[in-house]
Chains A and B, each alone.
Chain A
């Protein structure tokens, strides 16, 4: 197994292995709740909480979990924390809780969380698992806020509820509708592919120039 430093554990998930934009995990919440920045933030916070808690618990208890039933055990742990997050949100952010609705419960089936438990927490100590969960959680938040930002700015003409363009702006309603979610993520991926390709061509040109 390849060993990594704690800093790498933390930084990796933020951009280089961003769960949503690179690994394409956890797409359902990333598309469904990003019609405003506030919703995106609430969703990220809940996911962040669930992921950190279950990472720590699972990496602490990994010795007691039999290999054959590990996936079911992980799901149970995650489901417990999701129930907690659901109740916490209902108590402290009732507006967001109502907006997100069933998608809070659907954090259980976010493949990103299960994926981190299976590939990382089940093999590493609690401290490093926590760092890994923080990194991945921040990456998830960045992706969601990016999506939410684009969709809210174009679809409503506001950011976090603050109007940006004045009364003459005609909002692109399509952006806050479901189709806008697919298109936004599609265009973000296209842009990322473009920059990736440009970087590659530049590196090739440089290599040619020096040789």
Chain B
């Protein structure tokens, strides 16, 4: 059982060890849906939702089921995540068809988003309790949203600038991400 304070967990997951920019988790949506701020923001919110659900189910699995069979951890986590994503997909489709179309393939791909499985595994490795896990999930989700929105606003503003032909596309996105990541290194000494 970890005795880290909730505030330090939250802050560390959100900025100091930002999931995307410092730990390279969830890069696919980061590259894929970061072309528009609004889509990025919504993707981030969908992520927070799934992360919170995952954190609670991972805690439940760890406490009540996996005690006796730790080698089933990866398999059971991924099944839980796959079903959660399926539920969220159905909910989004029903509640907001527009958002469903905007997120496109990246919504079902959330199953294979490393941020979600990563959260469950880190939470287990660090021995977080229920509240700590929830805080971790919200912090990590806000961190992902922050990274997505920052990236999307930079990409929106460089969209019409005259970059060399070879840098168009992923190369440019990666270099911007590198610069953002450098900026986030500034938070490193805070905790």
- Residues of A with Cβ closer than 8 Å to B? 24, 27-28, 31-32, 71-72, 75-76, 79-80, 82-83, 86-87, 101-102, 105-106, 108-111, 114, 174, 177-183, 185-187, 189-190, 193-194, 196-197
Contact = CB atoms under 8 A, between A and B. Distances in A.
Given A28-B25, A31-B27, A182 B178 contact: yes
B176 to A, nearest CB: 8
A183 B178 contact: yes
Contacts of A109: 78, 111-114, 116-117
Given A87-B71, A106-B118, A197-B166, A186 B178 contact: yes
B175 A182 contact: yes
29 contacts: A27-B31, A28-B26, A32-B23, A72-B82, A75-B111, A76-B75, A79-B78, A80-B75, A83-B74, A83-B75, A86-B74, A102-B122, A105-B121, A106-B114, A106-B117, A109-B112, A109-B116, A111-B28, A177-B185, A178-B185, A179-B181, A182-B177, A182-B178, A183-B178, A185-B174, A187-B175, A193-B166, A193-B171, A197-B165
Contacts of A181: 24, 178
Given A109-B114, A193-B166, A79 B178 contact: no
Interface residues of B, number: 45
Contact of B121 (A106, A179, A187): A106
Chain B's interface: helix, strand, loop or mixed, by majority?
helix
B74 A105 contact: yes
A134 to B, nearest CB: 22
Given A79-B75, A109-B78, 17 more contacts: A24-B31, A24-B170, A71-B82, A72-B79, A75-B82, A76-B79, A83-B74, A109-B111, A109-B112, A177-B185, A178-B24, A178-B185, A182-B177, A185-B174, A186-B175, A189-B170, A190-B175
Interface string B64-96: 000000011111001100100000000000000
A39 B79 CA distance: 28
